[in-house]
Chains A and B, each alone.
Chain A
Amino acid sequence: MISPVKIWRNQQHFTKLIGKTGIIVSWTMIRVPPDGFSEQAPYPLAIVRLDDGTHVTAQVVDWDISQLHSKQKMITVLRRTIETTADGVIPYGIKVKPI
Chain B
Amino acid sequence: MNITVAGIGMTKFGELWAASPRWLASEAVHRAIEDSGMEKKSIQGLFVANMLSGMLGMQGHLGALFAEELGLSGVPAYTVEGACASGGLAIHAGMMSILSGQYDTVLVLGVEKMTDHKPELVSSALMGAGSNEERLTGATFPGLYAMLARSHMEKYGTTEKQLAAVSVKNHFHASFNPLAQFTHPITIDTVLKSSCVADPLKLLDCSPVTDGAAAVILTKKVMRASSGVQIIASQIATDTLGLSGRKSLTELAATKIAAKKAFQQAGVEINDIDCAEVHDCFTIAEILAIEDIGFGNKGEVGPRMEKGVYTLGTAARVVVNSSGGLKGCGHPIGATGVKQIVEITNQLRGACGKRQVKNAKCGLAHNVGGTGATAVVHILKK
Contacts and interface: CB of A to CB of B under 8 A. Distances in A.
Contacts of B199: 28-29, 31
Given A32-B197, A34-B127, A55 B245 contact: yes
A18 B230 CA distance: 54
A23 B148 CA distance: 16
B34 interface: no
B132 A81 contact: no
Interface of B: 119-121, 123-124, 127, 131-140, 142-143, 146-148, 150-151, 154, 195-201, 242-246, 249
Nearest to B139: A45
A47 interface: yes
In the A-B complex, the 6 residue pairs with the smallest Cβ-Cβ separation, listed nearest first, are A28-B146, A37-B138, A55-B244, A26-B147, A35-B124, A34-B124
B136 A28 contact: no
B187 to A, nearest CB: 23
Contact of B147 (A36, A41, A45): A45
Given A26-B249, A27-B150, A93 B137 contact: yes
A38 B120 contact: yes
Given A31-B195, A34-B120, A59-B137, 20 more contacts: A10-B132, A27-B147, A28-B150, A28-B198, A32-B198, A34-B124, A34-B138, A34-B139, A35-B123, A36-B124, A45-B139, A55-B245, A57-B131, A57-B133, A57-B243, A70-B150, A70-B154, A81-B137, A82-B136, A93-B136
B140 A57 contact: no
A56 interface: yes
A58 interface: yes
Contacts of B151: 25-26
A40 B150 contact: no
A37 B137 CA distance: 9
Interface residues on A, range: 20 to 34
Contacts of A36: 124, 138
B123 A47 contact: no
Interface string A46-86: 11000000111111000000000010000000000110000
23 contacts: A26-B148, A27-B150, A28-B150, A28-B199, A30-B138, A30-B139, A34-B139, A34-B140, A35-B120, A35-B121, A37-B138, A45-B137, A45-B139, A45-B198, A46-B147, A55-B243, A56-B244, A57-B133, A57-B134, A57-B137, A57-B244, A70-B150, A81-B138
A82 B133 contact: no
A33 interface: yes
Interface of A: 10, 25-38, 40-41, 43, 45-47, 54-59, 70, 81-82, 91, 93, 95
B144 to A, nearest CB: 8
Contacts of A27: 147, 150
A35 B243 CA distance: 21
Contacts of B245: 55
A55 B249 CA distance: 11
A35 B119 CA distance: 9
Nearest to B244: A55
Contacts of A54: 244
Contacts of A10: 132, 136
Contacts of B135: 34
A33 B138 contact: yes
Contacts of A56: 133, 244
Nearest to B134: A57
Nearest to B198: A28
A82 B132 CA distance: 13
Contacts of B119: 32
B139 A57 contact: yes
Contacts of B147: 26-28, 45-47
Contact of B140 (A25, A32, A55, A91): A32
A38 B140 CA distance: 12
A31 B196 contact: yes
A45 B136 contact: no
A48 to B, nearest CB: 9
A45 B244 contact: no
A32 B242 CA distance: 20
Nearest to B132: A10
A45 B145 CA distance: 12
Contacts of B242: 57
B138 A59 contact: yes
